[in-house]
Amino acid sequence: MSSNFVAGAVERRRELSREAFVLEFERQKPVVVEGGGGAALARWDAEYLSATVGGAELELLEGVYSARARGEGFANAQKRMRTLAEYIRALLRGESDPGYLFNTESGVLLTNPAAPEFQVGWGRALNPGLAPLAADFELPGFLRPESLIYAALILGGPAQASPLHYDLGGEAKALVQLRGKKRVLLFPPSEAAFLSFPSWFEEAPAAFRVPHASEVDLDRPEPEPERFPELARAECLGTELGPGDVLYWPSFWAHHIRNQDAFTLAVSVTVEELHTNAMQLRETLGILSRLFLRMAGDPRRGFDLTSRAGVLAALRALESELFSEENRKRSSMWSWHNSIWHG
């Protein structure tokens, strides 16, 4: 895994109160808090999981979350149903591509019944086969329980890594490491311009090419400098997680995470932290549309807005404008609004 971009280490704390979290980290920067995991840390090994929830049905993606799969252009991507006990056996046998228990709704073990608004998408329902695990799991103490959207198991071996991506629902994460180690790179939103995320406005995106998963493969020691020349400008924070570590990162921090061990288990806790409402979205729509109309109407740019291809090209231009040298460091709505409205 390339570490050329690591400008510093994620801060580590032995303990972190809710107050200190809000003051120093929430919506600002990642932190690792030690001593988490509670009863799950004590209990959840291969045997215990197989015995208590081994019958849980999982939907796993094979041929996607590994360097080899990427090299093959995802030619062998397929969904596979397996029980958790079968999957654990495959991992421990060292099967070459057993899939990754990650990014599947079937890994959800906890949702938030007290928050009807979060009950969409993966927040809607847990996998009933995993429900007994909820009793062993406690939320990290620095989070507000009301902000929980869902918690999901992430389990894999050293062949599995989650490629560089950001979590696109505006949610923040706490990753509770329970078994094995993970190596993590975290890039702040200001670096997104250098990370080669596919556009939202491609004509016909290829399979597994999505706007929130970067094209670069950070598992390579030198990630293709000719193809991704901007990548050398990116800076990130790095850390290694071991059992009991809880890693928090704010919304829209891109992450690349590689498992180190045969049985690497974590719980990914998704939390709401970017509140919004129809007025804020209306304001954003207004600001972006104004910028769009200004750019699209500029005859020097020559967009043909009568064709779908022309509209997509104009939208792609708008998208890159958001990451201009000037814009990419902005983090205040006030500054965005005024620079576009009055700019």
Ligand X SMILES: O=C(O)CCC(=O)C(=O)O
- Only one of the segments 138-146, 167-175, 210-218, 289-297 lies at the binding site for ligand X (rule: CB under 6 A); that segment is 167-175
Residue 177 interacting with ligand X (CB under 6 A): no
Tokens for 336?
């965005």
Question: Where are the extended beta strands (E) located within 180-235?
Answer: 182-187
Tokens for 245?
């570590």
CB atoms within 10 A of CB 112: 20
For the chain, the distance separating the N- and C-terminal CA atoms, rounded to the nearest angstrom, is 42
- Interacting residue with ligand X among 155, 266, 271, 313 (CB under 6 A): 266
- What CA–CA distance (Å, rounded) separates 88 from 44? 12
Q: How far apart, in Å, are the Cα atoms of 218 and each of 3, 64, 93? A: 8, 15, 27
Question: Are 175 and 263 contacting, i.e. CB atoms less than 8 angstroms apart?
Answer: no
Smallest gap, in angstroms, from Cβ of residue 154 to ligand X?
Answer: 5
Residue 179 interacting with ligand X (CB under 6 A): no
Residue 154 interacting with ligand X (CB under 6 A): yes
Residue 167 interacting with Fe ion (CB under 5 A): yes
Smallest gap, in angstroms, from Cβ of residue 99 to Fe ion?
Answer: 17
Q: Which of residues 78-137 bind ligand X (CB under 6 A)?
A: 102
Q: Which amino acid, one-letter code, is at 211?
A: P
Q: Which does 70 bind (CB under 5 to 8 A by kind): Fe ion, ligand X, none?
A: none
The DSSP secondary-structure symbol of 51 reads H
Residue 173 interacting with ligand X (CB under 6 A): yes
- Only one of the segments 70-78, 146-154, 159-167, 287-295 lies at the binding site for Fe ion (rule: CB under 5 A); that segment is 159-167
Smallest gap, in angstroms, from Cβ of residue 68 to ligand X?
Answer: 16
Q: Which residues bind ligand X (CB under 6 A)?
A: 102, 154, 162, 167, 173, 175, 182, 255, 257, 266, 268
